[in-house]
Every structure is written in structure tokens, then in C-alpha cells.
Amino acid sequence: MIKFSELIRNSSLKKTGISEDFEVKGLTYDSREVKEGYVFFAIIGYKDDGNKYIKTALENGASAVITEKIKKNVYVDELSDEDKAKVYESRDIRKTMAEFSRNFFGDPAEKLTLIGVTGTNGKTSITFLLKAVLEEAGFSTGLIGTINYQVGDKKADSSLTTPDSIEIYRMLNEMADNGVKYCVMEVSSIALELKRVYGLDFKIAVFTNLTSEHLDLHK
């Protein structure tokens, strides 16, 4: 188990005093998943603001909350002084979440050969082709992509082409624990923009193409 102070020390999080150190039992940005000893990331998304759930996360047992804004944050202002001491500020919460995830799961990507496939079209087809080639060559290969997530014989439905950093590092950790040697991953442009793959060392990168579909996001 890793201490909260260690996660902070190995991150770009603003170095502030820790009210009370603790063993971190989990990371999440969903207040419904929070348990005692968890770190909750109050992320502002395209549809919702995670800051609205800070109080709920603390009530559910969160030992620390990370937000990008403490001062003049109405959701922090309403907390008791005891709970306010558990809230920490990050200049870039998605980057911090990726850094925490990498260290919490023991940097599992270092035990794998990562292949990332990005571009507008063709990512899914290429990842499945690469997985088939590697497995034909005798290498145990995991896959993260639009259709599903695969770790050995285990398959799970995908919710995002490229999941957030906590899920990615959790899956990579499971792959490493199960002796997987390669991981082929679809890396969407929004995942790059939102730092979902921050900290990952891709040994091979594949770029398919770029069309006007992405100009609304990247200008």
C-alpha cells in the first residue's frame, strides 16, 4: 500500500502541508465509488462539474479531495474546517490524476511494450490486426479500444475509446500481473488533449490520418 504523501511527492501537485497522512486504498473521480481511504478527483467535465460532489465524496469516506480551485469555490466554502483540510489544489487535475494513477499502480506500463494507435479513422481495425499478428507470433497481448478492453481471455465492454488514466493504469496493472507482454491501445485525440495517457511510454506509435472531423476540438 502507498501513502498519500508519497503520491504527492511524485507528482506536480502544489506542495502543501498534509493535514493527515494515510494509506491510499483507491482513486476515483466518481463520488459513488468512494470508500474510506480513497482520493477523489473533482474534475470539471464537458457535462458536469465534479466539485458538486466533493461533500458527497467526503461523506462516503474520501480521505483526500483534489480540485483545481479552492478559493471562491462554493462547494469547498460549505465544508467544515475539518473537511476543508482534506482538500488539495492542483494546477492541472488531469495531469495529477495520471501521475497518482501511475504511482498507485506501480508504473505497470514499464513491464509492457505499449503500442498506441491514433488518428481519425482506422484505429480499431489496426489495433485488432496488430493484436492478431502479435498473438500469432506467440506474444500475450492486451487491447484497449472502442469495441472492448481485453486482458488475456477476459473481455469487458468499453465505455470510451480511451478510458481515463485511472482505468488505463488499472488495466495495465492487471495485464502485467497476468504476464501480458504487449498492449495495443487506441489513443483518441481527445484522450491526448485530456491527458488520459499522460506518463505512458509508448514504444511504438501509429498515426492513421487526420480529417476535418477533429477540427471542432483542435481548431
What pLDDT shows up at residue 20?
A: 81
Residue 191: partners with Cβ closer than 8 Å, 6 or more residues away: 160, 161, 162, 197
Rounded Cα–Cα distance for residues 46 and 76 (Å) = 21
What pLDDT shows up at residue 15?
A: 65
What pLDDT shows up at residue 214?
A: 67
| Residue matched to cell numbers 498507485 | 104
**Contact (Cβ atoms closer than 8 angstroms) between residue 164 and residue 170:** no
**Contact (Cβ atoms closer than 8 angstroms) between residue 126 and residue 207:** no
Q: Using 50 as the pLDDT threshold, list the residues of the chain that sit under it.
A: none
Residue 91: partners with Cβ closer than 8 Å, 6 or more residues away: 12, 14, 68
The pTM score is 0.92
Amino acid (1-letter code) at residue 87: V
Rounded Cα–Cα distance for residues 85 and 175 (Å) = 36
